[in-house]
């Protein structure tokens, strides 16, 4: 770990307002990750809201699908009709969901100090980190691994038929003969992301 990263983690640790989450700042255990995916009302974190989060542990060569999390949240603004066809979460579904604080109370200990694996996780982090910072005083300290970037590093420079901009999750799954479980469902997307990561790591 670079001195800059160590300094950043040390500063984040000092900002922590929930001492029960101190273990998130410990060095991760080798061969342990957590695949994560979110569904939102849109892609702009300044005006859209988080609807659901799924997280699944990856332990060595095993994806622990039997003990994953799939948390549906109640956003401050209900999803609009034109977005429901994408994520499948109706107002009636999320109205009974948990608060963001309740969601984080379950999600953060589950993530703990594991590196986070996602597909274009920068978008998920843009929605999660403001909520996390409000909840515990600092952003997520975890390393974040982008499956799309891993695939680009492996294939993009060697295969001219796979432009980096078109590395959609479906293309990566097809490349490795991974079955598609259905898009825009946070839990299915987390499972598929985990399976893709198993081939790429």
pLDDT in tens, 101-130: 999 999 999 999 999 999 999 999 999 999
Contact 61, 30 (CB under 8 A): no
Comparison of pLDDT for 91 and 151, the residue scoring more:
151
192: helix, strand or coil? helix
Predicted pLDDT of residue 158: 54
CATH superfamily of the domain spanning 30-200: Ribonuclease H-like superfamily/Ribonuclease H (3.30.420.10)
DSSP per residue, 93-149:
HHHTSB-HHHHHHHHHHHHTTPPEEESSHHHHHHHHHHHHHHHHSS---S-EEEHHH
Q: Tell whether the model's pLDDT for residue 68 goes beyond 60.
A: yes
Q: Report the share of the chain in percent with pLDDT over 70.
A: 81
Q: Which residue has the higher pLDDT, 102 or 4?
A: 102
* pLDDT at residue 93, rounded to an integer: 65
Which H or E element spans position 32?
A: strand 32-40
pLDDT at residue 144 greater than cutoff 90: yes
User: 85-89, 119-123, 182-186: which has the minimum mean pLDDT?
Assistant: 85-89
**What DSSP element (H or E) covers 56?**
strand 50-59
Per-residue pLDDT, averaged over 150-174, amounts to: 71
Lowest mean pLDDT among 67-76, 89-98, 133-142, 174-183: 89-98
pLDDT of residue 4: 63
DSSP 152: I
- What is the pLDDT at residue 3? 62
């Amino acid at each position: 770990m670079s001195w800059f990263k160590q300094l950043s983690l040390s500063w984040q640790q000092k900002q922590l307002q929930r001492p029960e989450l101190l273990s998130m700042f410990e060095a991760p255990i080798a061969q342990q990750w957590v695949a994560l995916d979110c569904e939102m009302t849109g892609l702009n974190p300044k005006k859209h809201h988080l609807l659901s989060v799924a997280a699944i542990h990856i332990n060595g060569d095993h994806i622990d699908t039997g003990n994953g999390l799939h948390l549906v949240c109640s956003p401050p603004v209900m999803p609009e009709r034109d977005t429901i066809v994408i994520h499948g979460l109706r107002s009636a579904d999320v109205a009974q969901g948990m608060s963001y604080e309740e969601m984080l109370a379950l999600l953060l200990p589950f993530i703990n100090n594991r590196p986070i694996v996602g597909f274009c996780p920068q978008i998920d982090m843009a929605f999660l980190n403001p909520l996390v910072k409000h909840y515990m005083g600092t952003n997520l300290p975890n390393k974040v691994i982008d499956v799309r970037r891993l695939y680009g590093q492996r294939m993009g420079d060697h295969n001219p038929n796979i432009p980096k901009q078109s590395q959609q999750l479906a293309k990566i799954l097809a490349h490795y003969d991974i079955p598609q479980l259905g898009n825009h469902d946070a839990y299915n997307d987390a499972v598929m992301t985990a399976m893709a990561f198993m081939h790429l790591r």
